[in-house]
Amino acid sequence: QQQVKQSPQSLIVQKGGISIINCAYENTAFDYFPWYQQFPGKGPALLIAIRPDVSEKKEGRFTISFNKSAKQFSLHIMDSQPGDSATYFCAASRNINSGYALNFGKGTSLLVTP
């Protein structure tokens, strides 16, 4: 079963706009929530990650918002650029330091138009 639900499946944003991707999870044991960016034919690359002790984390144009009570987290891409066009995956894991595997969402295909 899908332990992490991601939406939307696809997203089109104009250059300079804000891209927002949402994820929800059920397992309260999850304590690590990363976002990955994947280009066609490449492996996923870590963008940004958050742990449940904070509600927001920002790195450059990328921000994760985390709502522990709602068991939801989202990725915001500010000032979206055509080079951001890729597939984005949210994921969740428990006890990442113990080497537990990541549970991935189904992915969001983002297209940023010029």
Partner 1 sequence: GAVVSQHPSRVICKSGTSVKIECRSLDFQATTMFWYRQFPKQSLMLMATSNEGSKATYEQGVEKDKFLINHASLTLSTLTVTSAHPEDSSFYICSAPGGQGSEQYFGPGTRLTVT
CA neighbours closer than 13 Å in the CB half-sphere of residue 107: 12
By the 10 Å C-beta count (0-12 exposed, 13-18 middle, 19+ buried), 17 is classed as middle
Which of residues 6 and 19 has its CB atom nearest to partner 1 in the complex? 6
> What are the tokens at 60?
């450059």
Using CB under 8 A as the criterion, what x/- string covers residues 88-107 for binding partner 1?
-x---x--xxxx-xxxxxxx
**Number of amino acids touching partner 1 (CB under 8 A):** 23
Quick check: 19 and 108 in contact, CB under 8 A? Answer: no
- What residues from 3 to 42 belong to the interface with partner 1 (CB under 8 A)? 34, 36, 41-42
1 binds partner 1 (CB under 8 A): no
Which chain residues interact with partner 1 by CB under 8 A?
34, 36, 41-46, 49, 89, 93, 96-99, 101-107, 109
